[in-house]
Structure 1
Amino acid sequence: MKIAIVEDDIQMYEHLQTCLYELLGSSAEYIYFPSGEFFLQTWQPGTFELIILDIFMDRLTGMDVAREIRKSDREVRLVFSTTSNEFASESYEVNACYYLLKPFGKDRVKAMLDRIDLAQLEKMRTVQLPDGTTIVLRDIIYADYAAHCTTLHCKHGRNSSVRANFSEIEKLLSAYPYFFSPSKGLIVNFYEVAAQNADTFTMSDGCLIPISRRKAKEVKEAYSSFLFEQLRKGGKN
């Protein structure tokens, strides 16, 4: 999950980033933009799941930036960070989902995250495969490679095969912390692991995925870190 923070006060950004990290940990990537102009120069629709905009910035205000965003991206969650609620009525124009009033602490940031339901948003996140098709990431149980083709085994039997090098698919999926390769030519979704033994994962569809001896320690550490992060956030979602 990628979160953009557009804020011209570096100390305010660092405070907000700290609060977010304490609540979301490494499940999110936090990207800083010191001005609205710089953000719009590099932004592309679909890049972020959440954009937090300071309203009172020089030149382009947060509201100006939000209007530009909404010209081509109607889905991204927008939050305004501000010392005043004077623009509250205008926020409806750009479908903002929260006002984060300054000064704020972790409790208020948590209330913001609860309101916009990022957990549900993450469950709906998609990725584009090399052949141009899109797939919901959390629907993937595991992926395997054979005969120059990678098959993504998904929930409800909605499997998807793509003719692509396994390294392409691995690079695509490993950008998300819940995907990991326990053996050559295999990738598992940790959310879909039903049980772990010394040399296998049992997946939610009953399939047994081998864990190579060479990677056993690395796999154990990665899965343990995933479980700890889920426990910290209140359990698997």
Structure 2
Amino acid sequence: MIKISLVDDDPSDRSFLHSLVSGSFEKTGIAVEISEFESAEDFLSVFEPEIFDLCFLDIYMKKMNGMDAARQIRELDPELAIVFLTSSADYVYEGYEVQALRYLTKPPVPEKVHAVIDQFLAQTVLKNRRLAVSSGKQNYEVPYGKILYIMSVGNNIELHLKDTCIRLSARHTFTKTIEPLLQDFRFISCARGVVVNLAHVKALEKDRFLMDNGAPIPISRRQYAAVNDAYIDFQFEHML
């Protein structure tokens, strides 16, 4: 069951969007529960992390605007997919701050709503991908999205997350461990024994990636041109 919230102070706009969203999901066969809220304050009064999967949030409302509401939402739930509804491009750049999934211009066009639903469902699939590994006697199922990079260090394999590193058991081989990752568009080999998650790259420098946790990851001179092209493609296709 996908739980969706529509936050808009215009009843007719909410009703129209409700029909478009429910129609989009009918085509997928996925069950949904859609809740409507006439203000950001009403929504925040009942909001708790992980209650909703997707939120359509109007930016221009009479009291609290949608961008301020989104900032409060992000403090509680970094995973909720937020789609802004707007009649102006004034807040587009601020949307990066709260990691908005998409902007929809009001009144929304059915094809655009369908595209947003498709994008949301694709991201949901990505969030559910996990890498099964073990360290000592402990088994882990690590979400792909939480992996920053993986590298071979001597006889060891290190799986680096934002705030921790998992050193894999000796039964793991680097080739077998990275095989499923390299079938995911987010991951790329940038040097011998090094695979990075492009979604966690903060900057590409002349001989290295700078990851969003501050770690510098080397790029082999031989692979730099191909890595640079892959990074640019990733930005245009999946981040912009």
Query: What TM-score do the two structures reach when normalised by structure 1?
Result: 0.50
